Copies of this chain bind each other. A is one copy, B any other.
Amino acid sequence: MKIGILGTGMVGNAIGSKLVTHGYEVMMGSRSATNEKAAEFVKNAGKGASQGTFAEAAMYGEIVFNCTKGEVSMEVLKLAKEENLTGKILIDVANPLYFEKGAIPTLSVCNTDSLGETLQRNFPSVKVVKTLNTMNCNLMVNASLVPGDHDIFICGNDAAAKTKVETILRNDFGWEHILDLGDITNARATEMLLPIWIRLYGKFQSPNFNFHIAK
């Protein structure tokens, strides 16, 4: 299956590399078709990896991952163009973090809205599925990095799209416990886990932890 990745940072690199390992063909998209970080990804990931603009990656992928920083996600999706994404699944792993010098990051949108909802509202022909946004990128693609039972949340308006995404989470990333919260409005609930995630990261001095709902 062909996958488009928007964003050449650690998150896009972790997801893209893992998917290539599992036999997917992955195009990493960035502002420029010759982005150096994307070129390094292509070199390291090897056969099956390619690079292009945001629009080219969006056009290429049957499923597209939004791995950009939340603050630029809307802009990147506009560059990717809705016509290249119509009817496709957009897996939104981003968080609307607002970084201010010397302060713990806050959310630029929350409580009555979210980044996931913003993307769905602005690109109505795209099937936005919010998941993977409540953890570090190495854990995203390798659930066994944290021992014991722990959970991943998923939400989105299209049930069939969520089923497809769950298959990737399960088979390629090793997730056993997937909690479907319902439609995309639930994105605000998972994005609002970031404030405590950030504080726990500071406390533990390690990103290798995850939420588990004990019951």
Which among B110, B111, B212 is the interface contact of A213 at CB below 8 angstroms? B212
Among residues of B, the one whose C-beta sits closest to the C-beta of A215 is B209
A148 touching B214, Cβ below 8 Å: yes
Would A214 and B213 count as touching, CB distance under 8 A? no
Interface residues on A, range: 35 or more
Residues from chain B with a CB closer than 8 A to the CB of A198 are: 189
Q: Given A106-B111, A110-B110, A112-B106: A206 and B215 within 8 A (CB)?
A: yes
Distance, CA A128 to CA B213, complexed state (A): 27
Residues of B within 8 A of A189 (CB): 195-196, 198-199
- Are the C-beta atoms of B203 and A214 separated by less than 8 Å? no
Instruction: List, in ascending order, chain B residues with CB within 8 A of A211's CB.
Output: 211-214
Which residues on B sit within 8 Å (CB–CB) of A107?
111
A sample of 5 cross-chain residue pairs with beta-carbon separation below 8 angstroms, ordered by A number, consists of A111-B195, A146-B214, A186-B199, A193-B193, A193-B196
